[in-house]
Amino acid sequence: MNRSPKRHAHSLVELMIVLSVLSSLITVSVGWIHQSMKLSKQMHSRQAHQTNLTRLTRMIRDDARAASEASVDGSKLTLASLNVVYQVNGPIIQRTEQIDASTTRTDVFELQPGSRVIWNDTELPQAITLQIKRSSGTPIPSRLPQTNESNSPNSDTTNRNDLHLRMELNRYARFGVKP
């Protein structure tokens, strides 16, 4: 009576196959998690930038509509009738309002790195235009093949118009509206 003993264990080859499949799944999963965290961080940054642009748009539009005069000197917009100054310092726009002799209110709007602020005062004294442009520091994700041309759609020097705002001066006074 030679009975073959029952096998209660797995062979080494079976264990190696299971371990290689598991390690492949873990590697792919870690890559997906890393990519999703990276995308989440980019989306949060873009959302913060859009929030700052929205706040800036609302404040500067209200200031311009209430101001009777404006002047542009380089990177500085002065609304003398309201005692408000918008100063550009790198990727930051700072709004300073002189409320009275001892009280000053300052608001800071942080822009994306590489942003350029352009004040267009050619329509003064009726209106003023604010343009915020930036060139991306990273290539635009695209399925198109990469090229070395600077004007290609996936080039990292593509200018983006983040904000183009035209404001009429003294609009509230013309329509009899109190700000």
For the segment 120-140, what is each residue's pLDDT rounded down to a tens digit? Answer: 888 878 888 999 987 665 444
Q: What is the pLDDT confidence band of residue 78, given thresholds at 50, 70 and 90?
A: very high
pLDDT at 156 > cutoff 60: no
Give the pLDDT mean for 75-94. 92
Instruction: Locate all alpha helices (DSSP H) within 10-168, ordered by sequence.
Output: 12-66
Domain assignment of residue 5, yes or no: no
Q: Which residue segment(s) compose the domain that 115 sits in?
A: 12-139+155-174
Number of domains in the chain: 1
- pLDDT tens figures, 5-45: 676 788 999 999 999 999 999 999 999 999 999 999 999 98
Domain assignment of residue 124, yes or no: yes
| Interatomic CA distance for residues 162 and 72, integer angstroms | 21
Six-digit token pair at 176? Answer: 């009899």
Domain assignment of residue 149, yes or no: no
Domain assignment of residue 43, yes or no: yes
| Interatomic CA distance for residues 113 and 90, integer angstroms | 8
Domain assignment of residue 147, yes or no: no
Domain assignment of residue 37, yes or no: yes
Neighbouring C-alpha atoms within 13 Å toward the C-beta of 118? 13
